[in-house]
Structure 1
Amino acid sequence: MTPAPNAADLAPKTYAWEIQAMDLKVRAGRKKMAVNGLDLSLSLGTHGLLGPNGAGKTTLIRSLATVLSPAAGDLRLFGTSVSSTGDHRNLRRRIGYLPQEFGYYKRFTVREFIEYMAWLKEVPKKDIPAAVQRAVERVGLADRADQRMKSLSGGMVRRVGIAQAIVNDPTVLLLDEPTVGLDPAQRLRFRELLQELGREACVVVSTHLVEDVAAACSDVILFADGRLVFQGTPDELAAAGSSEDPGDSPLERGYSAVLSTSGPEGGAW
């Protein structure tokens, strides 16, 4: 039976964007400004975040997850300024987050771990069993749900990480290098899941794999040296390149072309 909506569910939506950054600056460590003057607005859909190593992608994802606080500028989630509030509990209930590396209790079963994460996300107790079952089914781990985490392969652990990120049916889903450790068949299924999730939420996927973005994302955000250097559809990024640019596909050549013009070291390793 579908639960009755509460007052918050019935309240009118009063914000235009799930994510809105205005001249956002975020530090990585004490000195480096890893995100430097970002203007960005994102709503429903699957958004691919691309960029070279050290571009600031992980710092941006962590700030969107409210793990890092802005150093300057304004970051708004669901119309609420992250900069002006120290209590992020209400925001975090609506966010799903998979970091590059996540901790877990090795003696927990898959089900126990995701139940624990659902509890941390304040999913109502009566809804947790169904939410956990749906999450493990969506990542293809229903047959492994009662195995201990320590017995899983690296790719399976990564899929558990995706499951815990979606167990609360988030409005904003943040995934940092989610396909690390997944085999080709699992990556294909994950792309399908991304497309499905993007119809329900604002999904931001940070990755080095241009082909995943091409297959699953509605738009591309290209980040370099802490700055936004391109935002548009995969086709628009592909059109930015030519046969003379490095890359094995039109999208990779477009990626190379934009980076080569984004700064003095845009094309360097």
Structure 2
Amino acid sequence: MTHTASAADTAPKTYPWEIRASGLKVRVGRSKMAVDGLDLSLGIGAHGLLGPNGAGKTTLIRTLATVLRPTEGELEMLGTSLGRVGDHRALRRRIGYLPQDFGYYKRFTVREFVEYMAWLKEVPKRDVPDAVQRAVERVGLADRADHRMKTLSGGMVRRAGIAQAIVNSPAVLLLDEPTAGLDPAQRLRFRELLTDLGRDTCVVVSTHLVEDVAAACSDVVLFADGRLVFQGTPDELGAAGSAEHPGDSPLERGYSALLRTSGQQGSAW
């Protein structure tokens, strides 16, 4: 089936950054400011979002996905301002989102699950079969497409989650801990997919695994206590550390050094 480009697909790009935040604050609960005065600009490419537990990574991802509303400051995605009020339905059609935990009907097959998510994202009906097939093939689930979700391993369920996130060919792709539950071979395939997606998509991937960022991301964003600590290339992150800092690789030592400088020492066991 031939895909027919929509007006949105062929419209000229009129914004300098896919994601731009200025003084962004997002409150969670009554008092905690989980994102606190963030200035950040992200364009095409794979951006690794690193930070300790409680740094605000998931809150930021959820805000970018329009699940949460900004409390203060400015946030713009794909040229659309995300204020505290407004209907962002049109923007959501252009976003792919994989949360840490996602729900699904266990009796759905993988194909039915991804089709359902394509329908929710308002993918044109004529394009859905091809879009679903491409998505399941890209995550290595073509041979499981007609198996029920309840029969899949945890890693396969995660891959089905990635498939639903990319089924609408998003301009911005948000992945929160996407490699959780993947075995080493699956993680290697995911890194290849991430590199491929980053060629023409703004991908933001939140992870605790520094080696995934090193292998697949062109840009690293280090987040601590709701604030931006560092943004640069993996090589620049590695250069920030030295042998005196904890870690088994240059990136881990750079990560430790920058957190120490920011006052975030990391939690003990």
Normalising by the residue count of structure 2, what TM-score does the alignment of the two structures yield?
0.97
SS of 2:262 mapped into structure 1: coil
The answer as to 2:59 corresponding to 1:64 is: no
**Does the 8 Å CA contact 1:93/1:168 hold for their aligned counterparts?**
yes
Unaligned residue ranges in structure 1 (runs of 5+): none
- TM superposition shift of 1:210: 0.3
- TM superposition shift of 1:27: 1.2
What corresponds to 2:37 in structure 1? 37
What corresponds to 1:105 in structure 2? 105
What corresponds to 1:266 in structure 2? 265
SS of 2:223 mapped into structure 1: strand
- TM superposition shift of 1:268: 3.9
Q: Report sequence identity in percent.
A: 80
- TM superposition shift of 1:8: 2.7
SS of 2:257 mapped into structure 1: helix
What root-mean-square deviation, in Å, do the aligned CA atoms of Structure 1 and Structure 2 show?
1.1
- TM superposition shift of 1:84: 6.1
What corresponds to 1:5 in structure 2? 5
Following the alignment from structure 1 to structure 2, what is the Cα–Cα distance between the partners of residues 30 and 150? Answer: 38
What is the number of residues matched between the two proteins?
268
What corresponds to 2:155 in structure 1? 155
Following the alignment from structure 1 to structure 2, what is the Cα–Cα distance between the partners of residues 191 and 6? Answer: 30
CA-to-aligned-CA distance 1:27-84 (integer Å, 9 cap, x gap)? 1222210000000000000000000000000000000000000000011011110116
What corresponds to 2:180 in structure 1? 180
**Does the 8 Å CA contact 1:46/1:195 hold for their aligned counterparts?**
yes
SS of 1:214 mapped into structure 2: helix
**Does the 8 Å CA contact 2:55/2:223 hold for their aligned counterparts?**
yes
Following the alignment from structure 2 to structure 1, what is the Cα–Cα distance between the partners of residues 155 and 59? Answer: 24
1:12-27 correspondence runs (5 A): 12-27=12-27
What corresponds to 2:245 in structure 1? 245
What corresponds to 1:143 in structure 2? 143
What corresponds to 1:230 in structure 2? 230
Structure 1 consecutive aligned stretches of length 4 or more whose deviation exceeds 2 Å: 1-11, 265-269
Task: Output the amino acid matched with 1:144.
Answer: R
- TM superposition shift of 1:10: 2.9
**Does the 8 Å CA contact 1:21/1:75 hold for their aligned counterparts?**
yes
Unaligned residue ranges in structure 2 (runs of 5+): none
Task: Output the amino acid matched with 2:31.
Answer: K
Following the alignment from structure 1 to structure 2, what is the Cα–Cα distance between the partners of residues 236 and 169? Answer: 31
SS of 1:261 mapped into structure 2: helix
Following the alignment from structure 2 to structure 1, what is the Cα–Cα distance between the partners of residues 147 and 5? Answer: 34
Following the alignment from structure 2 to structure 1, what is the Cα–Cα distance between the partners of residues 223 and 34? Answer: 11
What corresponds to 2:49 in structure 1? 49
**Does the 8 Å CA contact 1:224/1:266 hold for their aligned counterparts?**
no
Normalising by the residue count of structure 1, what TM-score does the alignment of the two structures yield?
0.97
